[in-house]
A and B are shown apart, each in its own frame.
Chain A
């Protein structure tokens, strides 16, 4: 990349600022600094977008992992029809595009000095900071469910070893066993995700362990794409999936991980494989930076994604309060691109501009059977607003050919979005 300013220009710029002894306003800087925390769908997409649209901006991405493991499509891995290696993306593409990568964990943020400090003691100053840390689990919400318990009752809600663990436990289970999925109260990342997972586990059971059953212990009454999922379950998996909604005490309040027992208000269930998806909140660094509010999530200006709690700090992706935009990879990617463009405008002395955004989530009911839900949003008011008459789900009762077409489109979407984020 020869568009990035070379080291000498940058150093000369810094020297000029220092010798004058005054802090130049960011918009006068020829090469302002943007620091991004978190190299997931939000952070990586924002970093890539800066390289495309604002070559003058220096972008530093801090991320502890050496490679990213994507959650979308990880339910296919659990169902046994996809290899986990297809979920992994190296950061070499971002490096090649001119993003400075720091493999470390952001530990402290000082908004007064505009500094991020890492676990290894590296200090980075920013003109604008973007946080895309994703989610953290609220470990004490379900009695008995902590990080150790998650070895026996995997959440598999951050992809990687947890995904493989759940897949292995399913493979090790005897035919005739019982699998449970515990679904937390909203908001959680990927609203249709638990039901896609239920479908693909049922697909695995049907093919390999047909006497087995799957129970969904749900904190929610209604869920994303419910009529589509329920029709698919009737058609594809009759007698396999049973669901206890929140109003019938479906919510899991306590577990005994060693014996794989789940407790609701009224019932106690011993199962062979337990997938416990815990309640969630914004990633830890958002709380350290004091950009999360009492809900556990981060309020933002809907146009710029700048935190309403801290100036010059933008938050994107799952960590935000962006409803009705869901916590999805599609949303995180788009928010990353929009946020980068707005920051580039601001740093060039231009006002940010409201726009129209969209989201689409594909879900698999079986490897050749998918449907989608989408939404279109305006951000010119105080918050995001769904555009009336737009969006919605794939038609109910459609032919198999449409489900197959959307299954193939979903694959293209995954290819596209990971290419945009990771190069």
Chain B
């Protein structure tokens, strides 16, 4: 049986994002439509800024760069 992308490593890594990000919300931004590169840059910027005040700073600090790349490629591709 062929495996769907939704069962991939990247999909599992991205499973926690959909607990907060939903289309149409405002206080937590809508992240659909970001390209994989724009998404990767946004995630890395949170990670690098270790004194940042938001929840994203504290979360992204726990992901490796390859993990962020995989997440950005997976979610970025969905938004297009």
Contact = CB atoms under 8 A, between A and B. Distances in A.
Nearest to A344: B7
Nearest to A337: B15
Interface in A315-360: 330, 333-334, 337-338, 341, 344-345, 348-350, 353, 355-358, 360
Nearest to A404: B27
Contacts of B34: none
Given A337-B15, A394-B53, A348 B20 contact: no
Nearest to A371: B55
A416 B55 CA distance: 16
A376 B61 contact: yes
Which interface class (under 10, 10 to 19, 20 to 34, 35 or more) fits A?
35 or more
B20 A338 contact: no
Given A353-B9, A392-B58, A409-B55, A419 B22 contact: yes
A341 B15 contact: yes
B48 interface: no
Interface in A394-423: 394-395, 398, 402, 405-406, 408-409, 411-413, 415-417, 419-420
Contacts of B20: 360, 409, 412-413, 416
Given A374-B58, A376-B62, A353 B12 contact: yes
A53 interface: yes
Interface in B13-52: 13, 15-16, 18-22, 25-28
Given A395-B53, A419-B22, A390 B58 contact: yes
Interface residues of B, number: 29
B16 A348 contact: no
B28 A416 contact: yes
Nearest to B28: A412
Contacts of B53: 394-395, 398, 402
A409 B21 CA distance: 10
Contacts of A53: 4, 6-7, 11
Contacts of B26: 408, 412
A82 interface: no
B55 to A, nearest CB: 6
Given A341-B7, A412-B25, A416-B18, A356 B58 contact: no
Contacts of A349: 1
A281 to B, nearest CB: 26
A372 interface: yes
Contact of A376 (B21, B28, B59): B59
B19 A330 contact: yes
A52 B6 contact: yes
Contact of B22 (A52, A406, A416): A416
A391 interface: yes
B28 A341 contact: no
A45 B19 CA distance: 10
A337 B9 CA distance: 13
Interface of B: 1, 3-4, 6-7, 9, 11-13, 15-16, 18-22, 25-28, 53, 55, 58-63, 67
Interface of A: 52-54, 56, 330, 333-334, 337-338, 341, 344-345, 348-350, 353, 355-358, 360, 372, 374-377, 387, 389-392, 394-395, 398, 402, 405-406, 408-409, 411-413, 415-417, 419-420
16 contacts: A56-B1, A341-B15, A345-B7, A348-B7, A356-B13, A356-B67, A357-B15, A377-B62, A390-B62, A402-B53, A409-B55, A412-B27, A413-B19, A416-B18, A416-B25, A417-B19
Q: Which 7 A-B pairs give the minimum distances between C-beta atoms?
A: A376-B62, A390-B62, A408-B27, A387-B62, A416-B22, A53-B6, A355-B12
